[in-house]
Each structure stands twice: as C-alpha cells, then as structure tokens.
A and B are shown apart, each in its own frame.
Chain A
C-alpha cells in the first residue's frame, strides 16, 4: 500500500508535485500540486501555485487556483487568493478568500468583470484609476434584461447560468484596482 505523502512543516519545495494518493502539506511549496487523491493543506502550509486534488481541505495560505474533483473546503483561518472550483465548495466563516468561487455546473461570472479582481500581481502593476470612474457600465450584469426575459422568476437564475452569451470573450476593459487594493498597496509601501 502506498504510504501517504507528507510535506513536513520544515520543508520547502520549489517545483511541482504530482501523483496518486493522499497528500498532507504542512510546509511550503512554490509550484503546482496536482494529485489524484485528497489534499490537506495544514495551518502552517503555504502554496504559491495551483492545487488540484479530489477532496481539497485548506487551512493554510494559497496563492493560486484550487480545484477539487469532489470538493474544496476552506477552513477558518485559511487565506486564499485565487479561484475555487469544485462540485461542492465550503468556506467557513473566518476564512479569507479573494477570487471567484464556482461550483461546477454554474457558468462563470461575466468575464468583463474579471478585471476588477483584486489579484495580488494585478494590484501591483495596474494603473491608478479610480474604482468608480473606471468601472465600465457594460460590465454590470444584465440583471434587468434577464429578469424581464425570464417568464418564471424562480427559474430565471438557473436559465441565466445556461446562457452561452455570458461565456463570450469580453470587450476590452480598463483594468482597475480592486476595492481596497490601493489601501493595501499603501500599507505595503509604508510598512
């Protein structure tokens, strides 16, 4: 029987990790983790890269997208900057997540709005344009249009998610800082 993999709290890996079987990460990984098994990221863990597994439980820090073929569970105290996708997603109160969270089967959010996302790298390089003036009117979700088009309001949300038009490539948008990103940036330069 394959022994379960543990990346101990005193271990740093710069590179990718893949394979079968469960894995528990207590240390740091700068690279992608891609296993066909359950992944547990302990409180002391830090991963800068994509994480994918079957059942992914996060209590540490992740900068990167997290995908679970069954579930992604984010525990209290976890910090994630990246998108979460899985058939089942849980985020406990007290967890910090910045990114898109999508259960499988739901269409992605309108792509034009992705520019607003407060990604770490984006908030560093993007120009200083105020949130309000740069937020394009076209980027607002077509709530009214969808509402009037849907004859049965109880099903309208489900219908909206199926509409292929929402998956089309976005018009070019002016990138802006996410709300609070300037404050974060300010703090960073000051600290």
Chain B
C-alpha cells in the first residue's frame, strides 16, 4: 500500500501543525492535514490526513481519510479510509473502502454494505 503523502503546499490544503492543539470543531473546504492534536469533531470537504504522532479525539467527516497517528472517534468518508502501520484507531469507520495495514492497533467497527450470499448445496 503506497502511503498517500499530503502536499502541504497545495493551495487547497489546510495544515494544523505539530505544535497546534485545537479544542473544538474544525470544519472547512478542501483538504486538511492534522499534525497536532484535535479534541473535537472534524468536517472537511476534501481528504483528511492524520499524520504519525498526531491525535484526534472526535468524529471525522471527509472525502477520504489517511491515518498514521491516533484517532478515537467515528469516521464517515465518501472515499477510502486507510489506517497505516503504527496508527492507533478506535471507533466506527464508514468509507467506500477501508484498508488497514498490519502493524496498526485498532478496535474498529466496519459497517460496509454488501451482500454475502453463501449458498450451500442441500444435504444428500
């Protein structure tokens, strides 16, 4: 799995640096890279990134989410959710697809909608 490195210098990208702590709601347009600490819910229209060492305690809504740090909260993403090796994630993850790398610590619920129709032939 290739790590999706956020482009910090993209004009569309908001960055909460490693020395930044936010208590409260964070919302906005475009992408968000979280390198510090957020206690509160996050809602952005673009992709969200939680860098290694960063912490979010709150729910996240974003186009997609890439977690390398620590997240305690529920995630709703229209696109993919990726949990990287070294990440610590706890909560419910709802995304178009969810990937989890070995080496992460997780206690998550995945509520992916799909049919699982296991049919077995009748007993002879």
Residues of A within 8 A of B37 (CB): 153-154
Complex-state Cα separation, A179 to B113, whole angstroms: 8
Q: What total of A-B pairs shows CB separation below 8 Å? A: 145
A4 to B29, CA, bound (A): 55
Is the pair A154, B57 in contact by a Cβ cutoff of 8 Å? no
B99 is an interface residue with CB less than 8 A from chain A: yes
- What residues of chain B lie closer than 8 Å to A188, measured between beta carbons? 115
**A78 and B88 alpha carbons, distance in the complex (Å):** 24
Q: Pick the residue among B97, B112, B120 that contacts A48 (CB under 8 A).
A: B120
A91 and B107: CB pair below 8 A? no
Fill in one digit per residue for B96-124: 1 if any A CB lies within 8 Å of its CB, else 0.
01111111111111111111101011010
Do the beta carbons of B39 and A63 come within 8 Å of each other? no
B interface, by DSSP: helix, strand, loop or mixed?
A: strand
Shortest Cβ distance from A191 into B: residue:
B115
> Is B91 in contact with chain A by the CB < 8 A criterion?
yes
Q: Are B111 and A178 in contact (CB under 8 A)?
A: yes
Please measure, in the bound complex, the distance between the C-alpha atom of A67 and the C-alpha atom of B83, giving whole angstroms. Answer: 20
Question: Which chain B residues (22-61) contact chain A, with CB distance < 8 Å?
Answer: 37, 39, 55, 57-58
Query: Which residue from chain B places its CB closest to the CB of A79 in the assembled complex?
Result: B116
B108 close to A101 (CB less than 8 A): yes
Question: Is the beta-carbon distance between A98 and B114 smaller than 8 angstroms?
Answer: yes
Interface stretch of the complex, out of A17-25, A33-41, A115-123: A115-123
Interface residues of B in 56-75 (CB under 8 A from A): 57-58, 70-74
In the complex the two chains form, is B88's CB within 8 Å of A158's CB?
A: yes
Contact of B90 among A30, A61, A157 (CB under 8 A): A157
Contact with B along A60-93 (1 / 0, CB 8 A): 0101000000010100000101000000111111
A179 and B100 within 8 A (CB): no
- Within residues 131 to 162 of chain A, which ones have a CB less than 8 A from any CB in chain B? 141, 143, 146-147, 153-154, 156-158, 160-161
Complex interface: chain A residues within 8 A of B70 (CB) = 154, 157
Residues in B neighbouring A44, C-beta threshold 8 A: none
Measured in the bound complex, the distance between the Cα atoms of B102 and A92 in whole Å is 10
Q: Quick one: CB contact mask for A92-120 with B, threshold 8 Å, 1 for yes?
A: 11111111111101111100010011101
Flag if A117 contacts B120 (CB, 8 Å). Answer: no
User: Assuming A157-B88, A187-B115, what are 6 further A-B pairs, CB within 8 angstroms?
Assistant: A48-B118, A89-B104, A91-B99, A91-B100, A92-B1, A93-B1
A-binding residues in B (CB < 8 A): 1, 21, 37, 39, 55, 57-58, 70-74, 80, 82, 88, 90-92, 94, 97-116, 118, 120-121, 123
